[in-house]
Structure 1
């Protein structure tokens, strides 16, 4: 779980830059996590959001 306040603030800002931030956050973000995505990301570590309704999803953005 990402629990450092500066890291949480960074991830909140990152989500705002996502092409569909409302889809990522849904009913609100409870926690952010960094964990392995075993489906489709070659087992790479990804950022995940745990939403207030106990659902979760990974998110990423395009690099410039």
Structure 2
């Protein structure tokens, strides 16, 4: 909860804030066991991410997907 309240006041740049928000939602998925809620929140939050960040995530996931097959 401290991370959620202090998030808007974080002095970091855009990239650390994106990582912090993603880590926060992943922690919500793992700690109390709410994976569907967390994935919905990540999807809703992705609307506010820059297109370059989403493209980078897509590239990383595509490479990992192809290596796993």
Task: Give the TM-score band, short-chain normalised.
Answer: 0.3 to 0.5
Larger radius of gyration: 2
- TM (norm. structure 2) is 0.32
Structure number with the bigger relative contact order (C-alpha 8 A, sep ≥ 6) is 1
- TM (norm. structure 1) is 0.34
Higher strand fraction (1 or 2) = 1
